[in-house]
Amino acid sequence: MIALSPSTDDVVNEWLSRHPLVHPTGTPIGLLWWTQNETWERDIVVGNPETEVYGLTELMDNNPMVCADRVSLLGPGGTLAAIALGPLAKAGLILETPVLQFTGPVSESDVVDGLRPFGVTDVDVAQEPSEDRVLAVNAIAEITTLDQPSLLDDLYEEAYGRQFFVNRNDDSTWDTALVDRTPSAVYRLRWSPGDDRSLVTIQAMGDRFGKLGAAQIVHAFNVMVGYEETLGLEGRLS
Q: Which residue has the higher pLDDT, 3 or 36?
A: 3
Work out the mean pLDDT of the chain and round it to a whole number: 91
**One domain, residues 47 and 136:** no
Q: Which residue has the higher pLDDT, 158 or 27?
A: 158
**One domain, residues 80 and 156:** yes
Answer whether residue 68 is part of any domain: yes
The domain of 161 spans: 76-207
Q: Which residue has the higher pLDDT, 135 or 13?
A: 135
**One domain, residues 127 and 91:** yes
Return the pLDDT at 36: 55
Answer whether residue 89 is part of any domain: yes
Percent of the chain clearing pLDDT 70 (strictly above): 95
117-159 per-position pLDDT tens digit? 999 999 999 999 998 999 999 999 999 888 887 889 999 999 9
Number of domains in the chain: 2
Cβ contacts of 120 within 8 Å, gap of 6 or more: 85, 89, 94, 98, 112
**One domain, residues 183 and 97:** yes
Answer whether residue 238 is part of any domain: no
**One domain, residues 97 and 202:** yes
180-237 per-position pLDDT tens digit? 999 999 999 998 888 889 999 999 999 999 999 999 999 999 999 999 999 999 989 9
Closest CA to 95 of 196, 202, 201: 196
